[in-house]
């Protein structure tokens, strides 16, 4: 999710269009494979390679901006992700009982798989797309978790409008940001929205320092963090 690609309750200046008919089944809870074995292996290999490279620190845009083609992933997306493919499993976060949604099974599965709290996942989806799997932002971000095409491809998401793939890919990406910033959720959310480059330029190391320097981030990112917190409180039981 880039600042330009932000959607739903947080960014009223962006226009959504429904590219898919309402016949898409979002509430079945049936998990369709978001990442194939081959794409997962390629993903892991790229991450391993990126672990040997320095983070770009490029502040020109979000890590979830459109990438021209799959060949550019090694130089852009994966350098920003950093870490190794195994690292996301180490993210801590208690999975608490939450208010159910139409995508409960998919969210619970992604939470258990990547270690991201259920209520945080629901808050991100709510803020990004208001749980509309067919939404497209004016910048081209698509689906429940508003993935740009390049990022979706890199995450093995062949259909960003498929709730199972969108949730799996988006939560996986969020888990990398949480890992990158040592579990500091506000920093991870700022990176999800504005890109790691912008967050890294602040020179902060925790959420408290981030909030003290929040005015240096784009206004949309400032509002995004607050909206996630409000939405999260609604889903926590």
The region of weakest confidence among 86-90, 120-124, 186-190 is 86-90
**In whole angstroms, how far apart are CA 87 and each of 77, 113, 134?**
16, 12, 31
Active site residues: 128
Burial, 171: exposed, middle or buried (Cβ in 10 Å; 0-12, 13-18, 19+)?
buried
Give the mean pLDDT of 156-165.
97
pLDDT in tens, 41-74: 555 445 444 433 433 334 333 334 333 333 333 3
Give the mean pLDDT of 134-157.
92
Model pLDDT, residue 104: 96
**In whole angstroms, how far apart are CA 160 and each of 41, 47, 96, 152?**
20, 21, 27, 7
Residue-by-residue DSSP string for 13-57? TS-----S-TT---SS-----SS-HHHHHHHHHHHHHHTTS----
Model pLDDT, residue 139: 82
Q: How many residues does the chain have?
A: 237
pLDDT over 60 at 131, yes or no: yes
The region of weakest confidence among 33-47, 51-65, 162-176 is 51-65
Task: Decide if 118 contacts 95 (C-beta within 8 A).
Answer: yes
Task: Decide if 210 contacts 189 (C-beta within 8 A).
Answer: no
Residue-by-residue DSSP string for 96-129? --B---TTHHHHHHHHHHHT--HHHHHHHHHHHH
pLDDT in tens, 13-22: 444 555 554 4
Give the mean pLDDT of 205-215.
97
């Amino acid at each position: 999710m880039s600042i330009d690609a932000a959607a739903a309750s947080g960014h009223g200046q962006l226009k959504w269009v429904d590219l898919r008919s309402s016949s898409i089944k979002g509430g079945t809870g049936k998990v369709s494979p978001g990442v194939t074995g081959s794409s997962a292996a390629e993903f892991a290999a790229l991450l391993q390679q990126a672990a040997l490279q320095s983070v770009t620190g490029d502040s020109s845009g979000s890590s979830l901006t459109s990438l021209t083609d799959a060949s550019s992933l090694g130089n852009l997306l994966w350098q920003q992700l950093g870490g190794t493919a195994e690292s996301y499993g180490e993210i801590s976060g208690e999975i608490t009982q939450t208010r159910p949604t139409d995508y409960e099974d998919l969210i619970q599965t992604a939470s258990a798989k990547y270690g991201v709290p259920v209520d945080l996942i629901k808050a991100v989806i709510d803020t990004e797309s208001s749980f509309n799997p067919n939404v497209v932002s004016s910048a081209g971000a698509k689906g429940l978790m508003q993935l740009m095409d390049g990022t979706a491809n890199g995450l093995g998401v062949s259909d960003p409008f498929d709730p199972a793939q969108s949730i799996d890919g988006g939560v996986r990406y969020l888990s990398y940001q949480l890992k990158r910033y040592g579990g500091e959720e506000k920093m991870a959310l700022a990176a999800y929205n504005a890109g790691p480059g912008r967050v890294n330029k602040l020179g902060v190391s925790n959420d408290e320092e981030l909030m003290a320097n929040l005015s240096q981030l784009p206004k949309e990112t400032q509002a995004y963090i607050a909206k996630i917190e409000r939405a999260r409180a609604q889903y926590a039981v």
